[in-house]
Amino acid sequence: MSDVTQEMQDRYEIEQVLRRYCRGVDRGDAELIRSVYHADGTDDHGGFKGLGVEFADRVVEAMAGRVEATMHNLHQINIFPNGDAARVETYFTAYHRLIQEGTTVLETFGGRYVDRFEKRLGQWKIADRVVVYDWSEIKDVPREYPNENFNQGKRSKDDLSYQPA
């Protein structure tokens, strides 16, 4: 494999890890979230600082029963490879629909994942993550789009996206 082809493959695999992370959080799938971190990989998520595999359980538990829906959107992904390591800066917007003091609110968070990825045993995973806060906004949700004709998204493996092909 040429150097350019290998770099393209590495970039693709790193981006897939980032996408798996977002899907795991949005679907409340701790197993999927754990899969993006090396066993000793760390995560600094503001209120949580520790092992990424522990963050997976913590975030799913914290959102259960409190958060109705989440959606994490990835934007530009800057990858700076260095052999079997890479510095990765990923811009994101996270939306959290939740009940707060009896009112439905939408929390919107704009930030960046500043990660160090490492390729170990042929797999790219997060070795170190710091979530950088850039901006946020909270709005009351006075009414919602009529959704009775749509399949409802679920924060579990009961979501339609987990159906076999």
Report pLDDT digits (tens) over 117-127. 999 999 999 99
Query: Would you state the structure tokens that stand for residue 117, as one six-digit string?
Result: 């990825």
In the sheet that holds 67-82, the strands lie side by side as: 49-51, 37-44, 123-140, 103-120, 85-100, 67-82
- Give me the pLDDT at residue 2, please: 85
pLDDT in tens, 64-104: 988 999 999 999 999 999 999 999 999 999 999 998 888 89
Which class in CATH covers the domain with range 3-147?
A: alpha beta
Distances (CA, A) of 72 to 6, 119, 149, 159, 163: 28, 25, 24, 16, 21
148 vs 137, more confident: 137
The pairing of beta strand 103-120 with beta strand 123-140: antiparallel
d(CA 137, CA 134): 11
What are the residue boundaries of the structural domains of the chain, listed by start? 3-147
With a pLDDT cut of 70, the percent of the chain lying above it is: 99
